[in-house]
């Protein structure tokens, strides 16, 4: 039986194969959807990824995070709890010499609390479907994002974010809904000006 493989679609690591390990809830983002997301980001960031901090919270194959690293993101933090997937992520990072990529073994909800000392410019959120992860993580995501930071979400249904998030773009591919949201932290009014 042939192993399923996807490929990095753009940047320095373009066309690099990413093996897909068997894992419960592991559902790699299709090439077409990743290409759409990174076209959106290219437009919004003016092609400048060099100063961006990215968190791939349910990394799985690492396809979303490696796409950011391939385009020159300064720091890509991947979080995964499947041991087989973690081993594959580390092997690919080594093969690519992707020094901007850090891989953290652990459960998303526990890890995100430890990582928010320096906020992220982009959080990639593609959790297993049907487990209510987004509802569990909204407040932690807001704490981990920089002001005007972006949140990419894949889900089995349309996403209706809390008021501090604005939907910038959205699409659907097969049974997957994907959204790009912007965090607009409610600013405190300074009466001393």
Burial of 97 (0-12, 13-18, 19+ CB in 10 A): exposed
Instruction: Dump pLDDT digits (tens) for 53-94.
Output: 999 999 999 999 999 999 999 999 999 999 999 999 999 999
> Mean of the pLDDT values across residues 182-191?
56
Q: Mind listing the domains of the chain with CATH numbers?
A: 5-183 (3.40.50.150)
CA distance readout (Å), 163 to 124, 139, 172: 19, 12, 22
> Mean of the pLDDT values across residues 174-190?
75
Residue 15 pLDDT exceeds 60: yes
The whole-angstrom distance between residue 28's C-alpha and the CA centroid of its chain comes to: 12
Q: Tokens standing for 159? A: 């996403």
Residue 2 pLDDT exceeds 70: no
Q: How confident is the model at residue 120 (pLDDT cuts 50, 70, 90)?
A: very high
Residue 193 pLDDT exceeds 80: no
């Amino acid at each position: 039986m042939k192993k399923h493989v996807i490929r990095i679609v753009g940047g320095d690591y373009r066309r690099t194969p990413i093996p897909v390990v068997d894992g419960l809830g592991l559902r790699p983002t299709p090439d077409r959807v990743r290409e759409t997301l990174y076209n959106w980001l290219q437009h919004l960031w003016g092609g400048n990824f060099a100063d961006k901090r990215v968190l791939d919270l349910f990394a799985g194959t690492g396809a979303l995070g490696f796409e950011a690293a391939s385009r020159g993101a300064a720091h890509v933090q991947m979080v995964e709890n499947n041991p087989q997937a973690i081993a594959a992520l580390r092997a690919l990072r080594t093969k690519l010499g992707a020094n901007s990529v850090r891989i953290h073994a652990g459960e998303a909800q526990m890890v995100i609390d430890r990582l928010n000392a320096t906020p992220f410019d982009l959080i990639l959120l593609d959790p297993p479907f049907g487990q209510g992860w987004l509802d569990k993580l909204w407040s932690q995501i807001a704490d981990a994002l920089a002001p005007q930071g972006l949140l990419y979400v894949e889900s089995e249904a349309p996403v209706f974010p809390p008021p501090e998030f604005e939907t910038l773009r959205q699409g659907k591919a097969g049974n997957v809904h994907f959204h790009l949201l912007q965090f607009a932290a409610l600013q405190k009014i300074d009466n001393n000006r």
